[in-house]
Amino acid sequence: MGKSEKTGAEIIAAYVKTLPGKPGVYRMINETGELLYIGKAKHLKKRVTAYTKYDRHSIRIKRMIRATKTMEFVVTGSETEALLLEASLIKRLKPRYNILLRDDKSFPYILMRTDHEAAQLMKHRGKRNKPGEYYGPFASAGAVNRTLDTLQRAFRLRTCSDSVYAGRSRPCMLYQIKRCAAPCTGEISLEDYTQLNQDASDFLSGRSQILQKRLQTRMENASKALHFETAAEIRDRIRALAFVSTGKTHLSPKTFKEADIAVIHKDGGQACVQVFFFRAGQNWGANAYFPRHAKDQDSADILDAFLAQFYTGKPIPKQLFVNIDLPNKTLLEAALSEQRAAGFRIFKPKRGEKFKLVELARRNASEALARKMAETASQNKLLTGLADALDLPDIPERIEVYDNSHIQGSHAVGAFIVAGVEGFLRREYRTFNIKDLSTEPGDDYAMMAEVMRRRFSRLLKEDDHKANNLAWPDLVLVDGGKGQLSAVAHVLEDLGVSERTTLVAIAKGPDRHAGRETFHMLGRAEFTLPTRTPVLYYLQRLRDEAHRFAMGTHRAKRKKQMHTSPLDAIEGIGPGRKKALLAWFGSAKAVASATREDLAKIDGISKQLARSIHDHFNE
């Protein structure tokens, strides 16, 4: 029997013979190179051997074993290292059979910039490469904004950029409404401003009680010295801090300062993980996550896998409170302690304040999952109707909708939006600047063909590298008629991927009348859908969203171009000389028609530079 005829279990058994009894990570891959599963093992040989016992597994695992045609292995120094590598790979490669954290994103922080004489308070997301103190993470931009608002009211720290700070000659409106101390114009000394900065740092670091006592002492001393205005300012600061400490949410803990709460609620084959963030003794927001998993997977296994991925590349708190016993609790603690370079513990509270907060998070998870299931049921019904209308073999889990935008060929962009079972996936929208110089201005067919070629070439490239970072669409919709359909079909055929997706073109009705659209598909006569039906409304929404996104990108590109000047393209013309030229001549157009002699009259413009400017406009 040839190797190609072997079953998945036999292929796996052949690998077992050469595997070491060491910790590591393994990958299971099918015949097309698609990554099926990534797993970790304390003992690779024993763990992989379990897959050869085919009849002992669930239907889902049996399907995965049957599909396995090759495997890859990485031996690690410890099981802890294997866990961290597994979580990192799952998060990046998104295998089909793994529990997968979806909708992951970087969290916002508050940054106190310390590389300026007057520290700047700002919201920050992304790499922490700016000098200063970072406080967070916060669950959302809204949580950051609320805290920034409190800090401005309490400490009056500046939020403006350095360029705005340097250009002020009098205080801005924030000073007038008592949201900034205005160090830019000397309304407060830098020494006193530095003290405000220190007070804000103490508050964000959880030393609010010490800070309040210090402020109380300052207020009393100011009052005794008859400095009533200063005393009133300190009183307002104390009130602002007290509002946060006893705020409307009643979620400021008394028994701990820093922790996360992560709870899971599972129902109807779906799960929600609710995460609360507590830092500096304050609630810094919460997020609900809906990890991808099989319906029969256990809640503890789902939360276990979620946490390993969730904390990959993120700051880790001192402790974590959960609502369920984790199978890999000890291993997770060891791995995250190593990643944190400090102690980390996981607890399942049974009483007291911590238990009440865990229960509150669980109720939030239950409500969030109920809302999600209601939305998903409605969306599934809609997609089932769409599949019937377009004769699709199954409901489309990923729909990509393409559109172009330009004005007589100028500032041309292509764009696509993504939708699926969970609605619009806005984080996966993409735009393309039209680059092909041979494309005639306004040639929509050529523009659409270029966008499709670039998009699907990228998908093929990802497939070749087995990275699977990009998902293939089940359904592709293009805004247009037979011409657009033909142009796109030729591209997909040339790339050899025409069988991997379904192509539909949506042509607007007579007089661009919504509700009378005509649909074009390969191998099928053009057709319409009954008016006032949910499926037709849904397709109109998809097309309109693609048009909105493409138009928005086009306008942003055009606006950016409007802010540039022809003078920017001349070597030797910086902001100072450009300002001098525009101040003298009034406009770039007047500069373009000026003589060399007139140009040379301006301070900072030499005869040689005047010649360069004149030659630039008069080649």
Cβ neighbours of 77 (radius 10 Å): 10
**Could you list the residue range(s) of the whole structural domain that residue 59 is in?**
3-93
Angle between helices 190-204 and 141-155 (to 10 degrees): 140
The answer on 549 and 579 residing in a single domain is no
Q: Specify the pLDDT at position 247.
A: 44
In this structure, the answer to whether residues 557 and 571 fall within a common structural domain is: no
* Judgement on whether residues 19 and 126 belong to the same structural domain of the protein: no
Domain annotation covers residue 98: no
In a domain, 298, yes or no: yes
Whether residue 149 sits in one domain with residue 55: no
Q: Which residue has the higher pLDDT, 149 or 276?
A: 276
The amino acid present at 523, given as its one-letter code, is G
Going by pLDDT thresholds of 50, 70 and 90, the confidence category of residue 274 is very high
In this structure, of 194-203, 298-307, 513-522, 561-570, the range with the lowest mean pLDDT score is 561-570
Kindly state whether residues 209 and 332 are assigned to the same domain.
no
- Using CA of residue 130, residue 136, residue 138, residue 143, what is the dihedral sign? negative
Q: Are 16 and 73 in contact (CB under 8 A)?
A: no
Question: Average pLDDT in the 467-493 region?
Answer: 84
Clarify whether residues 229 and 338 are in a common domain.
Answer: no
Q: How confident is the model over 421-468, as pLDDT tens digits?
A: 888 888 889 988 877 767 676 678 888 889 899 999 888 876 654 444
In order of 117, 157, 173, the CA distances from 178 in angstroms are 21, 10, 9
Instruction: Specify the pLDDT at position 242.
Output: 63
What's the pLDDT band for 557 if we cut at 50, 70, 90? low
How many whole angstroms separate alpha carbon 451 and alpha carbon 281? 50
> Residue 529, SS3?
coil
**Bond from prior residue into 566 cis (ω within 30 degrees of 0):** no
Query: What is the H or E stretch that residue 265 is in?
Result: strand 259-267
Query: CA 210 to CA 202: how far, in whole Å?
Result: 8
Tens-place pLDDT, residues 103-120: 666 788 889 888 888 989
One domain for residues 436 and 414 = yes
% the chain with pLDDT above 70: 90
CB neighbours (10 Å) of residue 483? 14
Domain containing residue 574: CATH number? 1.10.150.20
Residues 431 and 513 placed together within one structural domain of the fold: yes
Quick one: pLDDT at residue 467?
Answer: 43
Q: How many CA atoms lie within 13 A of 269 on its CB side?
A: 5
Max avg pLDDT among 72-76, 547-551, 581-585: 72-76
Q: Which of 523, 546, 561 is the last residue of a domain?
A: 561
CATH of the domain at 438: 3.30.420.340
pLDDT band at 356 (very low <50, low <70, confident <90, very high): very high
Residue where one domain finishes, among candidates 245, 278, 309: 245
Asked whether the predicted pLDDT for residue 28 surpasses 90, the reply is: yes
**Residue at a domain's end among 58, 93, 128:** 93
Asked if residue 551 and residue 582 are part of one domain, the reply reads: no
pLDDT at 249: 44
**Averaged confidence pLDDT in the chain:** 84
Q: Give me the mean pLDDT over the 477-486 stretch.
A: 90
pLDDT at 140: 76
Tokens for 12, please give them: 């796996």
Q: How many helices (H) and strands (E) does the chain have?
A: 20, 19
Residue 103 within a domain? no
CA 305, CA 291: separation in Å to the nearest integer?
9
The pLDDT, as a whole number, for residue 436 is: 72
Q: Does the residue 515 lie in any domain?
A: yes
Residue 398 in tokens: 């990923």
Mean pLDDT of 398-421: 82
Arithmetic mean of pLDDT, 317-335: 93
* Shared-domain flag, residues 413 and 526: yes
Section 514-542 average pLDDT: 87
Query: Do residues 313 and 443 share a domain?
Result: no
In a domain, 388, yes or no: no
Residue for token pair 């397709």: 539
Q: Is the per-residue pLDDT at 67 higher than 50?
A: yes
Which H or E run contains 113? strand 109-113
Question: How many C-beta neighbours within 10 Å does residue 159 have?
Answer: 15
Predicted confidence band of residue 261 (pLDDT cuts 50, 70, 90): very high
Per-residue model confidence (pLDDT) at position 506: 92
- Identify the pLDDT of residue 396: 92
81-103 pLDDT, tens digit each: 999 899 989 988 889 899 888 76
Asked if residue 381 belongs to a domain, the reply is no
Torsion of CA 316, 317, 319, 321, to 10 degrees: -80
CA distances, 7 to each of 3, 19, 33, 36, 97 (Å): 9, 19, 17, 16, 19
Q: How many domains does the chain have?
A: 5
In a domain, 516, yes or no: yes
Whether 40 maps to a domain, the answer reads yes
Q: For 559-578, how does the pLDDT look when each residue is reduced to its tens digit (9 = 90+)?
A: 665 556 677 778 788 878 88
The predicted pLDDT at position 582 comes to: 77
Q: Which residue has the higher pLDDT, 281 or 470?
A: 281
Q: Report whether pLDDT(511) > 60.
A: no
In this structure, the answer to whether residues 421 and 551 fall within a common structural domain is yes
